Structure 1
Amino acid sequence: MTDERMLKSLGIDSIDDLFSDIPASVGIDDIDIPSGASEMEVIRKVTEILSANVTAYDHPCFMGGGVYNRFIPSAVKAIISRSEFVTSYTPYQAEVSQGMLQALFEYQSYIAELTGMEAVNSSNYDAATALGEAAAMCYRINKRKKFLIPQVINCDKRSTLRNYVKGIDMDIIEYSYDFDTGEVDLNDIMRKLDEDVAGVYIEVPNFLGVIDRQTVDIKSIIGDALLVVGVDPISLSLLKAPSSYGADIVIGEGQSLGSPMNFGGPMLGLFGCRQELVRKMPGRIIGLTKDAEGNRAFCMTLQTREQHIRRSRATSNICTNEALMAVAAAAYLAIVGRDGLQTIARSNMAIARKLRDALSSVDGVECSTLEAPFFNEFPARLPIKPEKMSKILLRNGIIGGVPLAKHVPEMGDCMLFAATEMVTDSDIDKLINIMGAIV
């Protein structure tokens, strides 16, 4: 159909008539839109633009702080690329999609095994929103208005948490840490505990990579306040499950389980709790049941969302989740297995220690800033501003660590370096050579 015939069928004289309700004062007269291009030309141009990016695919990457450059088996992408799985949403009439529900059920089962939690939901957006949901869940359980978090935490996670609890007027109170070890200050936690504290949040490993040796003691000192533990799922193949030291709620970032960094999203929020708290847990749970003919079937259960029940009774206003990323996590864990996950965790620890020793050899760089054991990342004090170091490294084709100034102001002269299985000896050598030439 020609333009003239389309305009005539609509009863208008020009395309401008379609926008007659828009005031001329906000319109733009001259827009420099180039003529159309072929698909081949568009691909060539977009590829040229993208080539300016410095990515972890072709450059050494030492950035962590919550999102990590990890190896993803090709089979993971092949599985989640199947038409049965490719969706950014949990399907309505979900019971028709038994394959999707079974994959999510397997995901829940894997996370439950890693964390020791009896109930796990089918995902949250990311670790930050999972923390916000955990604080709100603590309030629903005991109606208290204070939530304790560590002073050492990713600032974006802290910001998301504060936004989450504004509506319930909850106070977020920070407790300090030991500047020598990097571990929490138990005495400060005890000083800030009172009858209004709903829950206490700890991270294992924490934001600085420290494996806090006092974690096992925290439940015994916080009384009837709920213990919320943030985890790195890779580390759980070697560390004790949070359930073993009294965790009531466990959250975490599941991006390491088969999802790329994706410029920060989509991520995968892990969320689990003790069985007796399950009806206060946000999100959805995939359950195992039987159909009308007695056959095994999967179904969505405990969907206490504002779409399904009265908003005032809903445990969460989140209307969707990260179903595809959860399927990726299930596929990743099934492929690498228990032994494979432990091998990955051990290699991370070994490479991180090799990186630390190498950085310590650079004049002016101090890596022995903390005494406690660490997993796969650690802070290093630099002789120049970390932000400046990042720019120099980037110009030399290296993605450096995370400058800590905005996250932990007391460590403004430090950079957080992470090492995963993707870091090679040659990557470390290149980093050391460039940093050595700078300082």
Structure 2
Amino acid sequence: MEKDEFTHPYLGLTKKERKEMLEYLGLTSADELFSDIPIRSEFHMEEQPLSEQELFFEFYELSKRNWNYLEHPLFAGGGAHAHYVPAVVQKIIERGEFLTSYTPYQPEITQGMLQALFEYQSMVCELTALDVANASHYTYGSSLGEAAHMAHRINSKNKVVVCGAVNPERLEVLRAYAFGKKLAVVQTRYDEQKGSLDFDALQSAVDDETCMVYVESPNYFGVVEPNLEEVAEIAHKKGALFCVGFDMISLALFKPPGEVGADIAVGEGVGFPISYGGPSLGVFATRKQYVRSMPGRVVGATLDKRGKRGFVITLQTREQHIRREKATSNITTNSAILALANAVYLALLGKSGLKKLAERILSNTHYTQSRLAELKGVTSPLFKGYCYQDFVARIQASEQALEKSFEKHGIIAPTRLKQLDSWLFGVSELTTKAHVDLLVVSIKEALEKNEV
């Protein structure tokens, strides 16, 4: 095939093929396909479209208007947290056998990806202290939604109790999942002094119709929930499953879900950039007795006919092509490339490295809290509960003054909590003393303007 036969840099149709297609349709040109579109519509540009080079630089100029955490201190809490990802993670997941790997239905040609997913599952099980993990979901929120469906399948009950302060966006995803199954989602209040869940409210909400009790720890306010064993006991007494939402890095410091009585654990993966909030990775683990009700595929190790170790999809009951309407979920191709990144990231850190990272984040959290507490007119933290990575502070300055000051000093602002008249701060290992110094200066200026 001659090179000059191609008419587009990305589409492989030749002039001959285009001509044959037009003749078949009874047309003389492609323009006739759009003849019924008004000439002044958006599809007809008076100016010629930009070249690839011109378009690149146009988008580059637009991108400079964005603020990113490499150039600006990031203190936004309650969502995606920025972590340093070693360059080797990206290098490995860019390898052709991983980057282009689709759902690995044919184990004889996808051993590399299957082994990587098996290692990912093994690491998740070790971190959560649970028996089995699937090969991941799309997001933390979708993992939570699937957990509610799974609990409903197991005990046929129709109510999900959400304890205390949970991420509101995640809660919206849960409600969306619950809608289709006609599950009631009830959120209990939190302790206004500690920021943790209110046990009296929890006990009142959990009844014989409850299929699942859900708690996040650390919760939306960054408070590490104490006494999770008691929550498990309350749930199990009523025949409900207990689900814990976790931060993966924090598991190096705090009790894992399996040790506090959780039946299901859901969370968000690590090892990839936050990228404006996505793509993300939903982590899911459970106990062995529930494995056949668990959504998503499970990769297992086996032996081939020669006795050599190999990897296969052990369970794929979620698959529509296997069980149709009886499938345990409707997940198709998910974020498996991010599960690989997660596995590589954890392997690079190792057990001691993960613990050091968690300790650094914890140290930065309490350092930032204490620095803000030194300012007159600031209550930091607002809640008495023990915080990790996020915390709430109340600042006696107007929202407008604070936002202007944050912008002036190039700070990606904390999250505004209007109902509490407070701000939700988030930190990570990337937070430095210089960042906190700048934050203190910006808040000081806003406080001074408020006094004037």
Bin for the TM-score computed over the shorter chain: over 0.9
Residues 210-219 or 84-93, more deviating: 84-93
**Larger RCO (CA under 8 A, 6+ residues apart):** 1
Cα deviation, residue 2, structure 1: 9.6
Relative to structure 1, the CA distance from residue 85 to residue 242 in structure 2 (aligned partners, 3 Å threshold; closer, same or farther) is same
Residue identity opposite 1:434 in structure 2? S
Relative to structure 1, the CA distance from residue 91 to residue 361 in structure 2 (aligned partners, 3 Å threshold; closer, same or farther) is same
Q: In the alignment, which residue of structure 1 is the partner of 2:439?
A: 431
| 1:229 corresponds to 2:229 | no
TM-score (norm 1): 0.93
Cα deviation, residue 150, structure 1: 2.4
| Partner Cα distance (1:186, 1:248) in 2 | 19
Secondary structure at 1:271's aligned position in 2? strand
Q: In the alignment, which residue of structure 2 is the partner of 1:115?
A: 128
> Please, which of 37, 43, 46 is the counterpart of residue 51 of structure 2?
37
Percent same amino acid at aligned positions? Answer: 38
Q: In the alignment, which residue of structure 2 is the partner of 1:247?
A: 262
Relative to structure 1, the CA distance from residue 161 to residue 35 in structure 2 (aligned partners, 3 Å threshold; closer, same or farther) is closer
Relative to structure 1, the CA distance from residue 387 to residue 333 in structure 2 (aligned partners, 3 Å threshold; closer, same or farther) is farther
Residue identity opposite 2:396 in structure 1? P
Q: In the alignment, which residue of structure 1 is the partner of 2:359?
A: 346
| Partner Cα distance (1:168, 1:361) in 2 | 50
Residues 138-147 or 4-13, more deviating: 4-13
| Partner Cα distance (2:39, 2:165) in 1 | 50
Q: In the alignment, which residue of structure 2 is the partner of 1:183?
A: 196
Q: Deviation digits for residues 10-53 of structure 1, max 9, x if unmatched?
A: 23333321235x565995474244344353x4433322221111
- Maintained 8 Å contact 1:387/1:403: no
Relative to structure 1, the CA distance from residue 89 to residue 145 in structure 2 (aligned partners, 3 Å threshold; closer, same or farther) is same
Q: In the alignment, which residue of structure 2 is the partner of 1:126?
A: 139
Q: Which runs of 5+ in 2 are unaligned?
A: 8-13, 448-452
TM-score (norm 2): 0.90
Q: Deviation digits for residues 325-363 of structure 1, max 9, x if unmatched?
A: 100010001001010000010011111111111112233
Residue identity opposite 1:173 in structure 2? V
Residue identity opposite 2:414 in structure 1? G
- Maintained 8 Å contact 1:184/1:214: no
| Partner Cα distance (2:209, 2:144) in 1 | 19
1:285-364 correspondence runs (5 A): 285-364=298-377
Q: Give the superposed CA RMSD.
A: 2.2
| Partner Cα distance (2:108, 2:265) in 1 | 28
Cα deviation, residue 324, structure 1: 0.7
Cα deviation, residue 320, structure 1: 2.0
- Maintained 8 Å contact 2:249/2:358: yes
Q: In the alignment, which residue of structure 2 is the partner of 1:199?
A: 212
| Partner Cα distance (1:96, 1:385) in 2 | 61
| 1:416 corresponds to 2:431 | no
Relative to structure 1, the CA distance from residue 248 to residue 13 in structure 2 (aligned partners, 3 Å threshold; closer, same or farther) is same
| 1:100 corresponds to 2:113 | yes
Q: Deviation digits for residues 237-274 of structure 1, max 9, x if unmatched?
A: 011111111100000011xx211101111101010000
Aligned residues: 430
> Please, which of 4, 13, 18 is the counterpart of residue 28 of structure 2?
13
Residues 91-100 or 268-277, more deviating: 91-100
Q: Which runs of 5+ in 1 are unaligned?
A: none
Q: Deviation digits for residues 118-170 of structure 1, max 9, x if unmatched?
A: 00000001110111000110000000000000241211111111111111100
Secondary structure at 1:213's aligned position in 2? coil
